[in-house]
Amino acid sequence: MATVERTTFGNHEVANQPPPLVDYNVYEADRVLIEAVRREGAEWAEARISEVGALAGSERAQALGALANENPPKLRTHDRYGNRVDTVDFHPSWHELMGLAVGHELHCSPWKDPRPGAHVARGGAFMCMSQAEAGIGCPISMTYSVIPALRTQPELAAEWEPRFLSSSYDPGNAPAAQKAGGLAGMGMTEKQGGTDVRANTTVAQPVNGGGPGGEYALTGHKWFMSAPQCDAFLVLAQADGGISCFLFPRWTPDGERNRFRLQRLKDKLGNRSNASSEIEFDGASAWLVGEEGAGVRTIIEMVNHTRLDCVLGGATGMRAGVAQAIHHATHRSVFGRELSEQPLMRNVLADLAVESEAATIAALRLARAYDEALAGDEEARQLKRIANAVLKYWICKRAPMHAGEALECLGGNGYVEESGMPRLFRESPLNSIWEGSGNVQCLDVLRAMVKSPASVETFFAEVEEGAVHEPRLQTFTASLREELPGDLETIESRARRLVEKMALALQASLLVRYGDEAVANAFCASRLAGDWGQAFGTLPAGTDFGRIVDRHRAVA
Ligand SMILES: Cc1cc2nc3c(=O)[nH]c(=O)nc-3n(C[C@H](O)[C@H](O)[C@H](O)COP(=O)(O)OP(=O)(O)OC[C@H]3O[C@@H](n4cnc5c(N)ncnc54)[C@H](O)[C@@H]3O)c2cc1C
């Protein structure tokens, strides 16, 4: 029976409008995430993740997320007396959300408490918190990711790491040494090239001879530098030895404002709570991290971790969309019948749920590869090398289509800001763009095939573990192997098709082994065996729609 909510208001009864999906624990309500967290080695962290889940689903946090987007950050270049301040003013809702995320150590927990499963634990909590607001994920993720790159230069790490590992959120615009905690950003993209960072024109001049850990003066610009309120950034610039990585702090060690100007904040499609700036360096002080000329190799340690967060972020958006779509369809009747009971809507909801489950399972499996690789496991390192690019490409690529369809499940309400769905939709293309856009991920997979052939074998070994139980996956994998590498003349133009298939094979392997049986079956029938249409809602008729929808329901 359909649940019909009735409220008397004005000259008519408000009927058949669903209650808002708030005040629930987004972790406890997510069976797929719970299972993945336990399976991938972070059961010990469940109480903590659940705390974040309760917070993120609370009416308060949901309202903060909306407020932070309705009141985007403002650039303040000067104070009232005309002195340059180059700062950003945020709405209090942003600060409150940041305080919650930092307080729960989403920006640092695996480095602070590096036990097995630490990256999975943090990934699970990050997925929960991002359901309150995804925009804060940017500085949180960059701070989490800066640590391995920073460790390339131990004396800089010794100075800065304690600030980044602090669980105190201190938004003050003051020298880092005077603050209770610090956050990190990164600046690679310039006007003439984002993907092609080797085209960077920002110049770094040594101050006292330079060298690893030495001081340089930066002159140039960055076209995108998000979260410019952070305390320090890893930036790329040209030194005599080539493109190099520098730590650029907002304030110099002698307590002066560093020599930079924030030029503009970007007026973005989504991610509006977060500030993304254009910046100019005017002889700014910065310290070399690693060797001159090793800039890409050094900063890639940071990018490797932000890319994991893009995968987690893509999966999170899908989970949020499915939760909202099922909730709405359960509380809304059309033609006298609950929407979630209508066969065609059940197909749409189930198809969205299948995509979401595949994304979550794969994202958390990837997080485990980070844990194991950092512990010295070579196979995990190889898997992470290739699976990160494969999954970043595919999960982030699927996110906008998924968000659009989830939005439509709410009908007209889904198109209206109050529902939160437009925000989800606007955010959805971003994870695919930053940290290496779709094509770049596919090209990176090709690079891994050439430079780390072992990563391909490790990848297929992981796929094989599921294929032995599922003939459709066996057939699919065999045809994929035949295409690899195939005609080398055409391999770049075929890269998206190859990487898409690799992602599907990996997701299927994980679902077959660990997912719900009905979900795994629907995934293999549709995504592998081709019994599917071009839009969501086209799963084959024999699918156990009810079981899949029930599994993904946020609140019973
Ligand atoms: C909201 C937001 C925040 C950002 N924050 C930051 C930040 O904090 N720090 C930072 O450094 N950057 C940041 N970026 C920049 C982002 O990382 C770049 O925009 C992205 O890497 C793409 O670079 P580009 O814009 O120069 O595009 P291009 O490099 O010009 O790429 C354009 C398109 O071409 C494709 N492409 C590139 N090379 C090839 C190829 N060889 N073959 C086929 N296709 C190719 C790409 O996939 C892309 O789709 C941010 C971007 C956004 C949107």
3-state secondary structure 277-315: EEEEEEEEEEEEECCCCCHHHHHHHHHHHHHHHHHHHHH
Strand partners for 260: 281
Give the residue-averaged pLDDT of 28-52.
Answer: 98
- Provide the mean pLDDT of the chain: 96
Ligand 1 contact, 187 CB (< 6 A): yes
**422 CB-near residues (< 8 Å, 6+ apart):** 407, 414, 415, 416
Ligand 1 contact, 434 CB (< 6 A): yes
Ligand 1 contact, 433 CB (< 6 A): yes
Using one digit for the tens of pLDDT, what is the confidence trace for 359-380? 999 999 999 999 999 999 999 9
Q: Which atom of ligand 1 is nearest to 268's Cα?
A: 1
Q: What is the pTM of this model?
A: 0.97
| Element housing 243 (H / E) | strand 242-249
Instruction: Kindly state the percentage of the chain with pLDDT values over 90.
Output: 96
Give the residue-averaged pLDDT of 62-90.
Answer: 97
How far apart are the C-alpha atoms of 394 and 496, rounded to whole Å? 9
Ligand 1 contact, 437 CB (< 6 A): yes
How far apart are the C-alpha atoms of 80 and 62, rounded to whole Å? 34
Would you say residue 65 has pLDDT above 60? yes
How far apart are the C-alpha atoms of 88 and 228, rounded to whole Å? 8
Comparing 556 with 369, which gets the higher pLDDT? 369
pLDDT band at 485 (very low <50, low <70, confident <90, very high): confident
Using one digit for the tens of pLDDT, what is the confidence trace for 266-325? 999 999 999 999 999 999 999 999 999 999 999 999 999 999 999 999 999 999 999 999
Radius of gyration of the chain (CA): 24
Would you say residue 230 has pLDDT above 50? yes
**62 CB-near residues (< 8 Å, 6+ apart):** 22, 132, 420
Q: Running DSSP on this structure, what letter comes out for residue 194?
A: S
How far apart are the C-alpha atoms of 302 and 148, rounded to whole Å? 6
8 Å CB contact between 305 and 151 = no
Mutate to test the pocket of ligand 1, among 136, 138, 224, 226 (most ligand atoms within 8 A of CB): 224
Using one digit for the tens of pLDDT, what is the confidence trace for 428-477? 999 999 999 999 999 999 999 999 999 999 999 999 999 999 999 999 99
Ligand 1 contact, 194 CB (< 6 A): yes
| Element housing 68 (H / E) | helix 59-70
Task: Find the 277 Cα to ligand 1 centroid distance in Å.
Answer: 15
